[in-house]
Amino acid sequence: NAGVTQTPKFRVLKTGQSMTLLCAQDMNHEYMYWYRQDPGMGLRLIHYSVGEGTTAKGEVPDGYNVSRLKKQNFLLGLESAAPSQTSVYFCASSNRDRAYEQYFGPGTRLTVT
Amino acid sequence: RKEVEQDPGPFNVPEGATVAFNCTYSNSASQSFFWYRQDCRKEPKLLMSVYSSGNEDGRFTAQLNRASQYISLLIRDSKLSDSATYLCVVRAQGGKLIFGQGTELSVKP
């Protein structure tokens, strides 16, 4: 049982480049989330999804887009990367009935130069 | 003011010590409360929920004071394996989780 997986684990981008981070979960969870974690800031919610085909903005959505075409996958896109997007990105999923218990992926460490 | 505030630490304690972490939250309408644990460069994991009456899970005791908007986590008889960052988490109206910045604990032999 893999739980939540994220691809890639590390990436270095130049300013202005684009990329997509992939999150996959095999627990049949309805809810999925993308967070970023920066030193001294804690985890901040970027976007989330409460079901296939639905997405919503979180606390810090600017500069990111998401899609949830399949229940098990949640994609995070950066259209034009900026140095301020250097961060560790975590994906998480949860069951609708226990939404407070989120299962996190191992994270993607992104550096934008 | 941050919605959830924690002392960032680090707390450096010897094995066997008792250590307490505090957390305050700003939104009085917050619905539920949790502690997550995050090991160095790893993903966060749920440690325990926090109930109004206080609750224990082995060496861990969590307390909530809604009037003061204050949450605490007490760890007794610290082990080396308790070294981690402890995240205070509040569930806001609408169901989203708000994470504190975390308190780092280092337990030394």
CA within 13 Å, CB half, B37: 13
Does residue B106 belong to the interface with chain A, where contact is any CB pair within 8 Å? no
B90 neighbourhood in chain A, CB within 8 Å: none
Task: Please classify residue A38 by burial: count the beta carbons closer than 10 Å to its beta carbon, then call 0-12 exposed, 13-18 middle and 19+ buried.
Answer: middle
Contact A102 B97 (CB under 8 A): yes
Q: How many CB pairs under 8 A join A and B?
A: 43
In this predicted structure, the answer to whether residue A13 has a pLDDT above a threshold of 80 is yes
In this predicted structure, the answer to whether residue A42 has a pLDDT above a threshold of 90 is no
Mean pLDDT to the nearest integer, A59-86: 97
A9 neighbourhood in chain B, CB within 8 Å: none
Asked if the peptide bond before residue B10 counts as cis, ω within 30 degrees of 0, the response is yes
Which residue out of B32, B41, B43 would a mutagenesis test of the A interface target, given it has the greatest number of A Cβ atoms within 10 Å? B43
Cβ-contact A66, A74 below 8 angstroms: yes
Phi, psi torsion values for A62, nearest 5 degrees: -65, 135
**A47, closest residue in chain B (CA to CA):** B96
Mean pLDDT to the nearest integer, A76-101: 93
**A32, closest residue in chain B (CA to CA):** B96
Q: CA-based angle A52:A55:A60, to the nearest 5?
A: 150
The pLDDT assigned to A100 comes to 82
pLDDT in tens, chain B (109 residues): 789 999 888 999 999 999 999 999 998 888 889 999 999 989 999 999 998 888 999 999 999 999 999 999 999 999 999 999 999 999 987 778 999 999 999 999 9
Q: Which of residues 43-102 of B touch A (CB under 8 A)?
A: 43-46, 49, 87, 89, 91, 95-97, 99-102
CB-nearest partner of A104 from B4, B44, B91:
B44
Cβ-contact B55, B70 below 8 angstroms: no
- Under the banding of pLDDT at 50, 70 and 90, the label for residue A97 is confident
Chain B closest-CA separation from residue A107 CA (Å): 7
- Amino acid present at B36: Y
